[in-house]
């Protein structure tokens, strides 16, 4: 599928730490495969990263390999977020069927060393700018964020999503029932 949706310069117009990543670095989205397992494990095994995720940190490479084989490779829309073609995170859109097929759910995760540089925001914008063309039946892209995951809420706001509501006691995360904020972007919404 698309090798690179779009190339964008990291830190462009943003006060990120430019010494960490060269200005010439580019963010791209591409399929994740088994050869990416070591990069995948960097974020998937980090409790700091998985704190707000529905999955627990991966503790074995074998489990990571099985996840890529059984879930990632069969997923309708799962991409590695890459810096200079090296995976540093992932982003996915989960499809619905039947009467719910008008909406899809966005999810993303990024290795901690890459936080705070605008990478997730750019990856979300790249998906928002392409997914409605790829999936013409899709009218709404939505994302659910635990209330105290302020960074992720900010990402969605910066990417043009509308904060709709707080869903009380919406899901159980790491054994605790949590309130979530629901965000959406419609196919007809203006892009920024």
Ligand X SMILES: CC(C)(COP(=O)(O)OP(=O)(O)OC[C@H]1O[C@@H](n2cnc3c(N)ncnc32)[C@H](O)[C@@H]1OP(=O)(O)O)[C@@H](O)C(=O)NCCC(=O)NCCS
Residues that bind ligand X (CB under 6 A): 49, 52-53, 108-110, 115-121, 145, 149-152, 154-155
Site of tokens 């117009």:
13
Angle, CA of 112, 104 and 42, to the nearest 5°: 20
Report CA 65 to chain centroid distance, whole Å. 20
Q: Report in angstroms how near the CB of residue 121 gets to ligand X at its nearest.
A: 3
Is the Cβ of residue 51 or residue 137 nearer to ligand X in the bound state? 51
Q: Is residue 43 left, alpha or beta, with left meaning phi > 0 and alpha meaning psi from -120 to 50? A: alpha
Decide whether 13 or 98 has the Cβ nearer to ligand X: 13
Handedness of CA 172, 175, 179, 182 (dihedral sign): negative
Least distance between ligand X and beta carbon 136 (Å): 26
> Please, what is the minimum distance in Å from the beta carbon of residue 172 to ligand X?
15
Question: Which of residues 68 and 126 has its CB atom nearest to ligand X in the complex?
Answer: 126
In terms of CB distance, is 13 or 136 closer to ligand X? 13
- Indicate the SS3 state at residue 9: strand
Name the minimum Å distance from CB 113 to ligand X. Answer: 10
Question: Bridge partners of 177?
Answer: 172
């Amino acid at each position: 599928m698309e090798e690179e949706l779009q190339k964008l310069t990291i830190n462009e117009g943003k006060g990120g730490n430019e010494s960490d990543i060269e200005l010439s670095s580019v963010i791209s989205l591409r399929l994740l495969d088994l050869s990416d397992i070591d990069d995948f494990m960097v974020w998937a095994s980090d409790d700091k990263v998985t704190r707000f995720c529905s999955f627990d940190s991966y503790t074995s490479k074998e489990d990571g390999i099985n996840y890529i084989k059984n879930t990632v490779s069969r997923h309708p829309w799962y991409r590695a977020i890459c810096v200079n073609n090296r995976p540093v995170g992932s982003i996915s859109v989960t499809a619905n069927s039947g009467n719910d097929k008008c909406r899809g759910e966005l999810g993303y995760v990024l290795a901690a060393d890459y936080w705070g540089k605008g990478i997730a925001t750019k990856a979300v914008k790249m998906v928002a700018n392409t997914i409605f063309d790829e999936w013409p039946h899709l009218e709404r892209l939505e994302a659910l964020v635990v209330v105290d995951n302020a960074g992720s809420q900010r990402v969605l706001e910066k990417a043009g999503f509308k904060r709709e509501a707080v869903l009380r006691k919406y899901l159980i995360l790491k054994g605790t029932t949590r309130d979530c904020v629901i965000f959406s972007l419609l196919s007809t919404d203006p892009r920024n």
